Amino acid sequence: MEEWRDTTTLDQLFESIKDCRRCSLAQNRTNLVLGAGDERAEIMFVGEAPGFHEDKQGEPFVGPAGKLLDQLLNSIGLDRKQVYIANTLKCRPPENRDPTPEELKTCTPFLYKQIELINPRIICTLGNHATKILLKTSTGITQLHGKLVRKGTLTFVPLFHPAAALHKPPLKSVLIDDFQKLKELLKEEKSRREEEKQASEEPLGEEDAQPEQMGLF
């Protein structure tokens, strides 16, 4: 039952959990929605859970919010084939209600496996729920959006959910600005990782390489 833990590709992960029955959400789903995009993506987006359209098509963010996400990606020279998009839950909750703690406990290990396999430079949490779950914080998205947050080895940039911008049009301009920030933050993360890589590969200096000789007396 736990063979998914040993998978080494996203395709293998999907095959191992596509018939998942670990929680009650499986009873009413049409499709399990693992995620979509480049499995070597530098940026990964994580929303809350599949909605009606996602459940029907088996892909994340294919409804109106997905179209806005596509526009935002295009605004910084990207498309969804160059990023990876997923959700904290892989099955749609009834009537799009919030995930329960038990559902999250059951499903988020699959998300962390995806993060492990993709190893993105930046993970963008979309909306309050995904942000609070992945950052393990009670701070709301209004305070965190557009800011770079490091948690252990992972780097996050919380963003408003595109669906929120559809319901509150003023948020669209905020999202547009945050995506421009995201473009710059990605450049900075690339530079930071490259510097760390170079530093780890630098040969030891002669003084560093010689063990300290103990005195005779």
Distance CA(151)–CA(176), nearest Å, equals 25
Write out pLDDT tens, residues 125-155.
999 999 999 999 999 999 999 999 999 999 9
Beta strand 43-47 pairing with 154-156:
unpaired
**Segment holding 64, helix H or strand E:** helix 64-75
Taking phi first (over 0 means left), then psi (-120 to 50 degrees means alpha), and beta for anything else, what does residue 95 get? left
* pLDDT above 70: percentage of residues in the chain: 93
Q: How many C-beta atoms surround the C-beta of residue 100 within 10 A?
A: 14
Encoded tokens for 25: 């959400």
- The predicted pLDDT at position 214 comes to 36
**Domain ranges (residues) in the chain:** 3-190
- The predicted pLDDT at position 190 comes to 83
Q: Is the confidence at residue 117, as pLDDT, over 60?
A: yes
The pLDDT-based confidence of 206 (bands split at 50, 70, 90) is low
pTM: 0.89
**Segment holding 154, helix H or strand E:** strand 154-156
Give the mean pLDDT of 30-45. 97
Give the mean pLDDT of 79-96. 96
Write out pLDDT tens, residues 6-27.
999 999 999 999 999 999 999 9
Contact 85, 162 (CB under 8 A): no
| Three-state secondary structure call for residue 97 | coil
Q: Rounded to the nearest 5 degrees, what angle is found at the Cα of 139, between the Cα atoms of 174 and 141?
A: 20
- The predicted pLDDT at position 217 comes to 32
- The CATH code belonging to domain 3-190 is 3.40.470.10
